[in-house]
């Protein structure tokens, strides 16, 4: 299976402004920020699927993210996923991990919300990336926290995978750069 490509059924390359978020994270906090201790209480569940331990599987229909821990077992988290026309599926890998990333809205987000500033600093309560972001290879998408916890569990994003801040903190501590990520629509 090739992980460097992401098959998209929505818009590719627009995502949630991850390139700007990475730049902002590097400028604002550096790359050596220590991970906060995991405090979330995700569910350990039975899991069906032919995925190796350590794989992150996002099921957009269920609006759930699974971290496979062993055959038949996974840790489950609720997530917000792409809204209609912004969903994608495919296989990729985590290619960066960032604490308190800045966010720069991409063109399609800015078009839909013209009053947004060009950059929202990391740590700002207005920053939709939340406390951490893990960028995905092959596009401008990420698995990240949120400043709007009520949106988790919905079809709400421009393609990114949105988590509660405690959950992204927990997942951030459990995975590393290179972790495989599979997004499925079933």
Q: Which residues are catalytic?
A: 144, 160
**Terminal C-alpha separation, the chain:** 19
DSSP structure class, residue 173: H
Which among 61, 81, 57 has a CA at the least distance from the CA of 69?
57
Q: Bridge partners of 99?
A: 132
Write the CB contacts of 177 (distance below 8 Å, at least 6 apart in sequence): 93, 94, 95, 96, 97
Q: Following CA atoms 141, 170, 180, 50 in sequence, which dihedral angle do they give, to the nearest 10 degrees?
A: -120
- CB-CB contact of 26 with 96 (8 Å): no
- CB-CB contact of 15 with 83 (8 Å): no
From residue 21, how far is each of 48, 74, 120, 130 by CA, in Å?
34, 29, 9, 11
């Amino acid at each position: 299976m090739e992980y460097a490509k992401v098959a998209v059924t929505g818009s590719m390359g627009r995502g949630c402004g991850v390139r700007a978020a990475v730049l902002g994270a590097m400028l604002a906090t550096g790359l050596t920020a220590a991970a906060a201790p995991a405090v979330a209480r995700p569910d350990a569940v039975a899991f069906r699927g032919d995925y190796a331990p350590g794989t992150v599987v996002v099921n957009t229909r269920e609006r759930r993210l699974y971290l496979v821990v062993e055959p038949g077992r996974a840790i489950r988290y609720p997530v917000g996923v792409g809204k209609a026309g912004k969903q994608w599926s495919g296989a990729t890998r985590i290619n960066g991990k960032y604490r308190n990333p800045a966010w720069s809205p991409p063109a399609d987000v800015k078009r839909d919300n013209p009053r947004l500033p060009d950059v929202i600093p990391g740590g700002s309560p207005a920053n939709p990336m939340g406390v951490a972001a893990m960028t995905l290879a092959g596009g401008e998408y990420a698995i990240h926290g949120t400043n709007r916890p009520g949106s988790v569990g919905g079809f709400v994003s421009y393609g990114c995978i949105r988590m509660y801040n405690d959950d992204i903190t927990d997942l951030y501590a459990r995975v590393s750069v290179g972790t495989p990520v599979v997004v499925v629509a079933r």
